[in-house]
A and B are shown apart, each in its own frame.
Chain A
Amino acid sequence: MKELDIEALVDNLDTVIAFIDEELEEAACPPKIQMQIDLAVEEIFVNIANYAYDPETGPATVRAEVHPDRSAVSITFIDHGVPYDPLAKADPDLSKSAEEREVGGLGIFLVKKTMDDIRYEYVNGSNILTIVKGLKK
C-alpha cells in the first residue's frame, strides 16, 4: 500500500495522477483500464479540491493498494472537509437532447459507470471514498 498526502488543489492533479500511474504500471495494468482509473481519480480529486474546503483549501490523502494477486486495485480518498456523499447525487438524464442536457454533473456518474465498486463513508470528521477496479482485461 502506498499513500500520498497532498493539498487538495486542482494544481496538484498531475501529481496525484502520476502517483496512481506509477502504482498501476508496477501492477502491469492494461492501458484502457489505466485510462479509466485515471479518469475516476481525476473526477474524485477535483471534486475534493473544488468543494471539500471551499472557500479555503485543506489536505487530502490518496491511498493506493494493489491486491496481492494483482487482480484489482483499491484507491481511497480521504478529506476532512464538509460531509459530502457523491453517491447520493442523482444520475444525469441521458435521454435528453443536447439542448436540454446540462453541461456539468458527469464526473461522478463516469466514476460509477467505469469502476467495479465505489463506497463512501463519513467517519470521525472525514469523508472516505473508495473505488475498486479489476486490473485484468
Chain B
Amino acid sequence: MNIIQERNADQLTLKIEGRIDTKTAPELDQVLQGALEGVKKLVFDLEETAYISSAGLRVLLIAQKQMNKQGEMSVIHANGDLMEIFEVTGFTDILVFE
C-alpha cells in the first residue's frame, strides 16, 4: 500500500494505492492520527485501491467519527467491486461517496 497525501489549506486528500488489509491498515491509521489537525475536509481517493478488508473499513469509520467532530469526509473513485463491500457492510449509508 502507498499513501499519497495532498494538503490544500484545510483540505486533505489521501490517495491510496494497493491493498488496505490487516497488515497495511495500521499504517493508514497512523498517517491519519498525525495528519488531521486543522483539516476540515478529508477526502479518500480510492481510484488505485484494489482491495479493502474489515481492517480498512475500521480505519475509515474511525476517520469518519473524527471528521464528524471537525468537518466532513468523503470517499471518491471507489471501483464497483469495492462499492459492493461498502454496500454489504452498510458503509454506503454512513460515509459520503462521490
Bound complex: CA of A109 vs CA of B54, how far in Å? 9
A84-108 CB contact bits vs B (8 Å, 1 = yes)?
Answer: 0000000010111111010110110
Hey, which chain B residues are within 8 Å of A97, CB to CB? 94
Q: In B46-90, which residues have CB < 8 Å from any A CB?
A: 50-51, 53-55, 57-58, 61-62, 64-65, 68, 81, 85, 88-90
Hey, which chain B residues are within 8 Å of A109, CB to CB? 89
Q: List 14 A-B contacts (CB under 8 A).
A: A13-B21, A32-B81, A46-B22, A92-B90, A94-B93, A95-B90, A96-B94, A98-B61, A101-B94, A103-B58, A103-B61, A104-B54, A106-B54, A110-B54
Q: Which residues of B contact A (CB under 8 A)?
A: 21-23, 50-51, 53-55, 57-58, 61-62, 64-65, 68, 81, 85, 88-90, 93-95
CB distance from B97 to the nearest CB of A (A): 13
* Nearest B residue to A105, CB-CB: B54
Check if A35 is an interface residue, CB within 8 A of chain B: yes
Check if A113 is an interface residue, CB within 8 A of chain B: yes
Check if A42 is an interface residue, CB within 8 A of chain B: yes
Bound complex: CA of A73 vs CA of B90, how far in Å? 27
Residues of A in contact (CB 8 Å), total 28
- Residue among A13, A96, A103, A104 with most chain B CB within 10 A: A103
CB distance from A109 to the nearest CB of B (A): 7
Hey, which chain B residues are within 8 Å of A99, CB to CB? 65, 68
* Nearest B residue to A107, CB-CB: B54
Hey, which chain A residues are within 8 Å of B62, CB to CB? 103
* Nearest A residue to B92, CB-CB: A94
- Residue among B54, B55, B90, B94 with most chain A CB within 10 A: B54
